[in-house]
């Protein structure tokens, strides 16, 4: 009599902390299904304890089976090093499919290696487009989508983008947003964080994140952003968990008295601050999504966004990157706050739909 079929090994690749927030619910769902065996690979693209290790513990994720420990470098060096280190892992594990997430260098590097070795590639958060090819993330998205076999999308605009690029509809599945699965799963626990008392926050406050090279690498440009944030801080103090990239470029003279620079936070502490904040000012993609679901006003300090549903249905406002543009956008938000709707399928069950899509895909290969 034939024995039970072996579980299908799924290699799940992450390299930066937003990847882990999206992978956590999927890895959990895969691990609870006898059909699958998830194997987690951490490329080490982000390797600082507060930027990575703490996230694994807070998200309840297993320790990675493989840590490539790539670290920081130029885009070319980092991408190439990830490819070199990922190839032997892929050959050793011999999975049924490789899951890559988002738009970081780890995403495109591991997708390229897998595809050239003829392993199926599944791209989580496919089809998002800023239409700004000066952004490294945009190049990573376009390349990864072009070679992926199954494309799991978060919003309808992503589906339209992929169809325009000639991706067959049969390879695209609208599953919702895995990052929002993590938010719903951890929100009650996050509310119990003591981060507000630890920071001595009383009353209304705003939250700031900046990390994109276009915003933080040019001292004059960063100074202009900080000047706009200083103007906004007249309304309430701002708390700014400073990304290592940003801290390296900030000078004390750029920071107003009501802008409080704090160390990077863990996932639960940051989620707690976001939940209790009066507004969030960011250049992050994922935070645009989280603030939409939480109903918190979000000013995106960029000239474009790859997540238009957060503007069309959510609380997000594209503020640009100039002093005048940011101040004007904040005045508009203050005078006419947006009434948010939660986008379709951002309901905490994206992992279940992703699992179903993956099972159907592999069954029909």
State the catalytic residues: 211
Query: Given the DSSP bridges, would you call strands 8-14 and 97-101 parallel, antiparallel or unpaired?
Result: parallel
Q: Going by C-beta distance under 8 Å and a sequence separation of 6 or more, which residues neighbour residue 96?
A: 8, 9, 10, 120, 362
- DSSP secondary structure string, 40-90? EEE--SS-SGGGTHHHHHHTTPPPPSEE-------HHHHHHHHHHHHHHHH
In this structure, the number of other CB atoms found within 10 A of the CB of residue 257 comes to 8
Q: What b/e readout covers 42-70, taking b as 16+ CB neighbours within 10 angstroms?
A: bbbbbbeebbbebbbebbebeebebbbeb
Residue whose structure tokens are 């993956």: 358
Q: Quick check: 264 and 207 in contact, CB under 8 A?
A: no
Cα distance between residue 171 and residue 173, in whole Å: 7
Cα–Cα nearest to 306, from 328, 282, 289: 289
Give φ, ψ of 173 to 5 degrees: -130, 125
Q: Going by C-beta distance under 8 Å and a sequence separation of 6 or more, which residues neighbour residue 211?
A: 243, 245, 246, 283, 284
In this structure, the number of other CB atoms found within 10 A of the CB of residue 84 comes to 13
Strand-pair partners of 37: 9
């Amino acid at each position: 009599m034939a024995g039970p079929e072996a579980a299908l090994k799924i290699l799940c690749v992450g390299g930066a902390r937003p990847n882990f927030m999206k992978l956590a619910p999927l890895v959990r769902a895969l691990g609870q299904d006898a059909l699958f065996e998830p194997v987690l690979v951490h490329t080490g693209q982000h390797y600082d304890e507060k930027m990575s290790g703490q996230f694994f513990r807070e998200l309840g994720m297993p320790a990675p089976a493989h840590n490539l420990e790539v670290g920081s470098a130029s885009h070319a060096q980092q991408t190439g090093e990830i490819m070199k280190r990922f190839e032997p892992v892929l050959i050793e594990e011999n999975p049924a499919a490789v899951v890559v997430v988002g738009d970081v260098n780890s995403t495109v590097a591991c997708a390229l290696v897998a595809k050239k070795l003829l392993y199926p590639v599944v791209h989580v958060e496919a089809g998002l487009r800023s239409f700004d090819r000066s952004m490294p993330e945009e190049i990573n998205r376009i390349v990864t989508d072009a070679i992926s076999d199954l494309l799991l999308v978060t919003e309808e605009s992503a589906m339209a983008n992929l169809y325009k690029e000639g991706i067959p509809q049969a390879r695209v599945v609208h599953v919702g947003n895995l990052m929002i699965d993590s938010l719903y799963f951890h929100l009650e626990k996050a509310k119990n964080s003591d981060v507000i008392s630890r920071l001595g926050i009383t009353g209304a406050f705003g939250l700031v994140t900046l990390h994109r090279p276009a915003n933080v690498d040019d001292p004059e440009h960063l100074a202009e952003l900080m000047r706009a944030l200083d103007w906004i801080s007249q309304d309430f103090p701002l708390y700014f968990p400073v990304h290592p990239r940003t801290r390296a470029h900030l000078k004390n003279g750029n920071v107003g008295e009501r802008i409080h620079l704090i160390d990077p936070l863990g996932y639960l502490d940051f989620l707690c601050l976001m939940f209790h904040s009066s507004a969030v000012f960011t250049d992050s993609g994922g935070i645009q999504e989280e603030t939409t679901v939480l109903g918190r006003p979000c000013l995106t300090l960029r000239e474009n966004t790859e997540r238009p549903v957060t503007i069309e249905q959510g609380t997000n406002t594209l503020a640009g990157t100039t002093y005048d543009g940011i101040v004007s956008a904040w005045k508009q938000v203050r005078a006419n706050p947006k009434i948010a709707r939660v986008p379709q399928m951002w309901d905490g069950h994206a992992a279940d739909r992703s699992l179903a899509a993956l099972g159907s895909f592999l069954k029909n290969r």
